[in-house]
Amino acid sequence: MSKNFLRVCMNIFILGLVSLVVLNSCKKDDEDDQPSAKDPIASFQFEISESNYLEVTFTNFSKNASSYTWDFGDGETSTEKDPVHTYAEAGSYTVKLTAKNDAGSSADYSQDLTITDPDEAYKLLTGEESKTWKLFREGVSMSLGPNAEDPAGWWAGLENNGARPCLYFQEFTFYYDGTYEFNDNGEFWGEFGVFDGMWNYEICFEAIPENMINKDGVDVSAWLSGTHAFTYDPSVGQATINGLGAWIGIPKLTTAGETTVPVESTTFNVEITQETGYDLMTVSFDYGDGGYWQIVYASYSDPSLEPDVVLEEDPYGEDLPDLTPDELYNTFETPDSYVVLDTAHAYGAASAANNMELTIGVADPAGAGVNVAEYVRIGMYQELQFFMEYDIQFDNFTTLSLDVYMPSSNDYSGSLTKGIAIIIGEHSETEEWWTGHIQYDVEATVLDEWVTYTFNLDEPTSGPGTYTPFTNDKLDFFAISLGGGGHEDQGTFYIRNFKFE
């Protein structure tokens, strides 16, 4: 046998051996690269049938699973991927889905499900035939705030303390047949924003048509006792009352906002809870940036539990001593540059609500002069507020003035205005100063310059009050408002020399 032949055979053997090694190595590598089965993820959503409240359709959104086990929380189960399950009765159930893959791994996911009989939920509002609701006479029954999380952030609220007793006698009745009835029981309340400046403003008065004339001279007698209609969808917690003058909560509250005249239809949110011997109904109007009104009503199955209406309010606050100053001013140059018009409480309530910020002693934005105050408007109801320690007597003054620097850098294209308002009112003996103040208003026309705005004290331009500082000896509150109220558009302004002369 030749050496060449042996050499060829040896090469073939070595090549085959190498190939075998390579093939075995590739096979091992391929096996190592094979991914293991992914763990399952369990998830689902459900939808309750509109035609049968007991029927629920479950949609499976699980991943990496090949089999499923459902536990519907009522003792029934299913292995379908997307089951439709009919419950025997209303109630609360915990539904559990177990998703499993071919490798035997599994994952669980649970959701709570409440099945509600819509007719029974409807009857919580109407009773079997009818159900009458009145303002809840315990705690806060009515309030205003920025949202549902803070329903009393702007107005701490109405209580059964004698301030508005007529409101606690009024009755709102919902009938099973869709009829809605309001009974004023002979008295009405002169609501803020509706009856401002009228003889019946902010008092309980006889509920007769001739007394129902609003501040604009419009007849609003459609708000008196009457029968209307309503619809209620308990699944979304909303009711609508229909018919001119139908209202609940406060007459001026409507679907989209406040009004001064009766409207044809109003939609509101409803939440009803059952207590021992009575039910509570919380009515709310959510106006977004415009605020959140919350009103609480009660309907008693045990009338003995209902508290009496407090008919007379205890005196609020105290009468402050009189002061007739020769000087009354604040320059805002430093925290101490004032006479009587102290800044110690200047932004108390407003600052607490994060509605405005005042910084005293900042540099003059015009680049010259002494230091001034920076006024940053943040929230909807913002005022620079001054609470006096005396009832100010204005015998030595005829005018008031304020220097304002209004920057053009503010965005006035939205709700932010160039409005300037100075407010005078009574606070120490009146819980709600804004229901009786007077106001001096002007619209700035010059920007990026200091302008002095002067007003005659005996010529207020607006406000619910019908007096001047010379005819009311109880005035102990001042406020400055810049940029307009009722919105949250921000703006930065500068002020100095708030003076009475």
Indicate if the pLDDT at residue 378 is higher than 90. no
Q: What is the pLDDT of residues 217-232, one digit of tens each?
A: 999 999 999 999 999 9
Looking at the predicted structure, is the pLDDT value of residue 379 above 80?
A: no
- pLDDT confidence band for 354 (50 / 70 / 90): low
CA atoms within 13 A on the CB side of 9: 6
Token pair, residue 133, equals: 């609701």
Whole-number average pLDDT of the chain: 90
Q: Check residue 50 and give its pLDDT.
A: 84
Percent of the chain with pLDDT over 70: 90
For residues 455-478, average pLDDT: 95
Contact at 8 Å (CB) between 154 and 119?
no
Here the tokens at position 169 are 């006698």
User: What pLDDT sits at residue 369?
Assistant: 82
pLDDT digits (tens, 9 = 90+) for 146-159: 999 999 998 989 99
| Amino acid 343: pLDDT | 63
Per-residue DSSP letter, 434: G
- pLDDT score for 356: 80
Q: Report the distance separating Cα 133 and Cα 265, nearest Å.
A: 20
Q: What is the mean pLDDT of residues 275-284?
A: 98
H helices within 372-443, ranges in order?
A: none
Q: Does this model's pTM top 0.85?
A: no
Mean pLDDT (whole number) for 333-360: 71
Would you put residue 113 in left (φ > 0), alpha (ψ -120 to 50) or beta? Answer: beta
CB crowding 204-237: b at 16 or more within 10 Å, else e: bbebeeebbbbeeeeebbbbbebebebebebeee
Contact 229/265 with Cβ under 8 angstroms? Answer: no
Per-residue pLDDT averaged across 158-187, rounded? 97
* Confidence band of 113 (pLDDT split at 50, 70, 90): very high
Q: How many CA atoms lie less than 13 Å away from 414 in the CB half-sphere?
A: 11
Least trusted range by pLDDT, from 54-58, 316-320, 321-325, 437-441: 316-320
Q: Which domains does the chain have, with CATH numbers?
A: 44-115 (2.60.40.10), 119-305 (no CATH), 322-500 (2.60.120.260)
Give the integer Cα–Cα distance in Å for 167 and 358.
39
Q: What is the Cα–Cα distance from 419 to 367, expressed in whole angstroms?
A: 24
> For 115-131, how does the pLDDT look when each residue is reduced to its tens digit (9 = 90+)?
888 889 999 999 999 99
d(CA 157, CA 142): 5
What pLDDT was estimated at residue 30? 46
Residue 217, Ramachandran bin (φ over 0: left; ψ between -120 and 50: alpha; else beta): left
Percent of the chain with pLDDT over 90: 77
* pLDDT value for 71: 97
Give me the mean pLDDT over the 329-345 stretch.
86
Higher-pLDDT residue of 351 and 308 is 308
Closest CA to 492 of 369, 358, 337: 358
Nearest to 170 by CA among 224, 103, 115: 224
Least confident of 1-5, 44-48, 60-64, 483-487: 1-5
Residue 497: how many CA atoms within 13 Å on its side-chain side? Answer: 14
Q: What pLDDT, on a 0 to 100 scale, did the predictor assign at position 123? A: 95
Instruction: Quote helix, strand, coil % in the chain, to nearest 5.
Output: 15, 40, 50
Q: What is the pLDDT of residue 345?
A: 53
Q: Is the pLDDT of residue 406 over 80?
A: yes
25 versus 501: which is more confidently predicted?
501
Residues in the chain: 501
Cα separations (Å) of 16 from 1, 6, 9, 12, 22?
Answer: 22, 15, 11, 6, 10
The answer to whether 356 touches 382, Cβ cutoff 8 Å, is yes
CA angle 466, 470, 474 (to 5 degrees): 75
Under DSSP, is residue 125 helix (H, G, I), strand (E, B) or coil?
A: helix
Q: Hey, what are 211's tokens?
A: 């007394």
Counts of helices then strands in the chain (DSSP H, E): 3, 32
Q: Taking residues 329-337, what's their average pLDDT?
A: 93
Confidence of residue 197 (pLDDT cuts 50, 70, 90): confident
Q: Find where tokens 């019908």 sit.
A: 466
- Other Cβ atoms less than 10 A from the Cβ of 350: the count is 22
Tokens of 204: 């309980």
Structure tokens that stand for 137 in this block: 């006479």
Region 366-389: mean pLDDT is 88
For 9-58, what is each residue's pLDDT tens digit? 444 334 444 343 333 444 444 444 444 579 999 999 999 998 898 999 99
CA of 414: how far to CAs of 223, 411, 483, 490, in Å?
A: 34, 7, 11, 10
Distances (CA, A) of 222 to 27, 189, 208, 321: 89, 14, 11, 45
Lowest-pLDDT choice from 100-104, 190-194, 347-351: 347-351
Q: How far is CA 254 from CA 18, 187, 266, 297, in A?
A: 89, 21, 5, 18
DSSP strands (E only) in 2-129: 44-48, 55-60, 67-71, 77-78, 84-86, 91-100, 106-115
Q: Which residues contact 369 (CB under 8 A, 6 or more apart)?
A: 450
Closest residue by Cα to residue 111 from 82, 63, 62, 72: 72
Find, among 358, 368, 350, the residue nearest to 332 by Cα: 358
